[in-house]
Structure 1
């Protein structure tokens, strides 16, 4: 009884957020169905799945980290890393000056009206009354306005970031790069630009896939301590002066030249910029430096998702034929994000990782993230545009429920059964995890008539 009640609650929630399955017809991909039936691969390994083991930092990086922190109080660093993670999860972008001014005006009117009703008219112009109103407005602003300030990454905070954030960020980047490599096998980047490079996680992850192709790594981070730490890690720790990578550069500011790079990444950086304008200027600069792919990643919070969505919309509004682009991942469309438009929930994904940088003991952990991969140029007509699972598939007896973001820019819920959709498509649906693409086409009745 308890289980049935739980399922019914889940389904009621789903119906509110996702369109009914009766509005469209589901067509399985013929090539995938044939390959599954001919045992070329199993449904559990269909091409929409990005299969990867639980990620851990590369051995050489772990060795460098342990060398760097061996003279520091490990327990204190770990505690500080936990506090930093909590702070970042609760972090919001700074409120715009216009918004603060409007909010202050509205609060002042409400406070003034309320307090004026409590005193005699001749008291309204006294300094005591005005000060009382002012104090109440300030206190209410403190409650309603997020007190944003930049995080200063000095020598100690850089070490804390290395301990607390390098493993999850590396794992997220490996997951994103894995999909690019699987879907674009001809992509062999020769140059990489990392904006907000921090301790170098983008470089570590890129070398898993394209080390033989990359000849230039251009890293930009405003913290000189972060840049020094990233360089020491590549050298193998303190005491070593020879890096195992060539063509690695570190700068504190964005270069003003027009050089472009095959792969441009901004990972967990836009949240640290002081305004919407500064974020959009950074996105425009990064897009202008992009030759093939621009990847933007933030934490999978609502605030992180909102920043990803505003960057996505900004780039997609560019109409210049030479500079236009489209969404490669996660969206199978270039329309407005349906999750942003219809719910208060973030469009995010999850990755498992192992954090073993401070001790031999393995810690299995999870990280939620929001991201977008934008590709230069128009979308290839051969792009399958398979829908993506934006929540975990609900596997039930003789049916499975997939919550999908589709090529027509909508959120749809499909209940798959073997009798209705065929055994191969049904088993592909059951094997599709949160974040995977499902090799089907969803066709509405109006589209079918056309």
Structure 2
């Protein structure tokens, strides 16, 4: 018998009865609590951890810092500039390809321009502020919290003894009504988004350019760090208007032979197909050797695997953690190379990405513990480690996110470049080979440049947050230049030692730093 799990935006098609070996979402129940509203992150982790974790409530001042020897040699012989060192993201301001831009305008011109501008802005604001659906236990807890709060405010207690039954019932009804009214205002009410033809056009106008830019930056980093990887097949889950395919073709042109789009909205699939036809549904579609396929269901079968699997801004559309993890598990089983998960750069988007990341890493740890010959995989980017994200535990309430500049799709008058914040994780099949790849820390904020020193905040290969200070006098001109010219999201070509080094602080020539720099987030 065939069963179908109905996801609001995507559908997963399940054949036969569920098999825990095939769908392993329940294997790590601790994940529920690590990313749960019920416990603080540290309490949740301590209850279910597989390894010891030290909470960093403040940024640790880094120990000794030394530049990568090979990079320094390249700087000295002139083959490399500090502004373009090997760890930099080469993407600056991202523009849509002309064929895509023309196709998008051809679609949008079928509708009143001012209406599209206004409605697209409203939709974009809604999408950027979107939150995940509450779990049943969380909704129950919030109900009782609001109920107790109203009881205190109104100084009423229907359960107080010696109250006539009629009066007690009246108080209960009144309290229940007040609780529901308060929850409507204070508690996020998740609803599935139904994309009809017009709403798909609004999504195109609002999200095509920023989604494309974020994926181009992520994929460009993948290509730079793994030049031998070339995707021949791609699966895009929650494909929307097809930004993932266009970004892939932009980074790896004329290489992908087969693309599979998965989106439960037939109108969205029709729009993505129309863009491939230059905006005219009567024109022929761009041809690939293996074909371009549009699906409304994601089969659970593991027989077909893809070099590159993408899920961009789709996790919010899945109604609960069980279905999210099941979806992530299916996508991972279909991945032969890289799995890319992208969400909006909000706290909630960051939480959902970490939820998926930690689940897949736990599967990998279990595989290694059991001695399986082919362990699951590791985090390729942005994290230089496979530990829990230290920002999730540092108490700052600041997500680990990144920025990309892009030129928006012009509607009416020409618009200046804009900036998109996003959070993401890229997982790669296999084991992390420490000897084959330089383990550099990644900048999680823009550097703070002073007159004679520069302060960088980085996430290290050991899974900790560090504040690194460099000066020309103590760390060489090359080290200073490399750090000064790095940007948020870059890998910094330096090695950090674990033993405090007094040379990390210059106490002469006005460079003294008595305490860690206070960087505004």
Q: Same fold (TM over 0.5)?
A: yes
Cα distance change on mapping 1:359 and 1:245 into 2, 3 Å:
farther
2-side partners of 1:374 and 1:271: how far apart?
20
Query: TM-score when scaled to structure 1?
Result: 0.92
Q: CA deviation at 1:16?
A: 6.5
User: Could you tell me which of 201, 217, 224 is aligned with 1:159?
Assistant: 201
2-side partners of 1:294 and 1:350: how far apart?
20
Contact 1:356 1:363 in 2 (8 A): no
Contact 1:264 1:293 in 2 (8 A): yes
User: Could you tell me which of 103, 106, 122 is aligned with 2:163?
Assistant: 122
How far does the alpha carbon of each residue in 1:288-329 deviate from its partner, in whole angstroms, 9 at most, with x for none? 011010000000011111111111101100122435111110
Q: CA deviation at 1:357?
A: 4.1
How many pairs are equivalent?
Answer: 431
Matched, 1:329 2:373: no
2-side partners of 1:378 and 1:222: how far apart?
34
Matched, 1:204 2:221: no
1:273 aligned partner: 318
2:40 aligned partner: none
2:60 aligned partner: 19
Contact 2:113 2:412 in 1 (8 A): no
2-side partners of 1:61 and 1:266: how far apart?
20
2-side partners of 1:109 and 1:70: how far apart?
53
SS of aligned partner of 2:309: strand
Contact 1:123 1:129 in 2 (8 A): no
Q: CA deviation at 1:104?
A: 2.3
2-side partners of 1:74 and 1:210: how far apart?
34
Give 5+ residue unaligned stretches, structure 1: 1-14
Contact 2:93 2:406 in 1 (8 A): yes
2-side partners of 1:238 and 1:304: how far apart?
35
User: Could you tell me which of 449, 471, 482 is aligned with 1:395?
Assistant: 449
Q: CA deviation at 1:210?
A: 2.3
Cα distance change on mapping 1:241 and 1:117 into 2, 3 Å:
closer
Q: CA deviation at 1:59?
A: 0.4
User: Could you tell me which of 222, 228, 237 is aligned with 2:264?
Assistant: 222
Cα distance change on mapping 1:325 and 1:120 into 2, 3 Å:
closer
Matched, 1:66 2:105: yes
The 5 Å alignment of 1:248-287 reads: 248-258=292-302, 259-287=304-332
SS of aligned partner of 1:115: coil
1-side partners of 2:326 and 2:174: how far apart?
41
2-side partners of 1:308 and 1:103: how far apart?
24
How far does the alpha carbon of each residue in 1:70-96 deviate from its partner, in whole angstroms, 9 at most, with x for none? 221011101111111111121110110
Matched, 1:75 2:75: no
Q: CA deviation at 1:117?
A: 8.3
2-side partners of 1:297 and 1:377: how far apart?
21
1:9 aligned partner: none
User: Structure 1 or 2: larger helix share?
Assistant: 1
The CA RMSD measured in Å over matched residues stands at: 2.0
Cα distance change on mapping 1:307 and 1:118 into 2, 3 Å:
closer
SS of aligned partner of 2:116: helix
1-side partners of 2:214 and 2:146: how far apart?
42
Contact 1:65 1:357 in 2 (8 A): no
How far does the alpha carbon of each residue in 1:322-375 deviate from its partner, in whole angstroms, 9 at most, with x for none? 351111100000111011111201111100000134346243111000000011
Q: CA deviation at 1:98?
A: 1.3
- The worse-fitting range, judged by mean Cα deviation, of 314-323 and 217-226 is 314-323
How far does the alpha carbon of each residue in 1:178-222 deviate from its partner, in whole angstroms, 9 at most, with x for none? 001101010011100000000000010101122322111011001
1:8 aligned partner: none
User: Could you tell me which of 316, 322, 333 is aligned with 2:361?
Assistant: 316
Query: TM-score when scaled to structure 2?
Result: 0.79
Matched, 1:370 2:423: yes
Q: CA deviation at 1:145?
A: 2.5
2-side partners of 1:125 and 1:277: how far apart?
43
1:84 aligned partner: 123
Cα distance change on mapping 1:239 and 1:89 into 2, 3 Å:
closer
SS of aligned partner of 2:297: coil
User: Could you tell me which of 390, 393, 411 is aligned with 1:341?
Assistant: 393
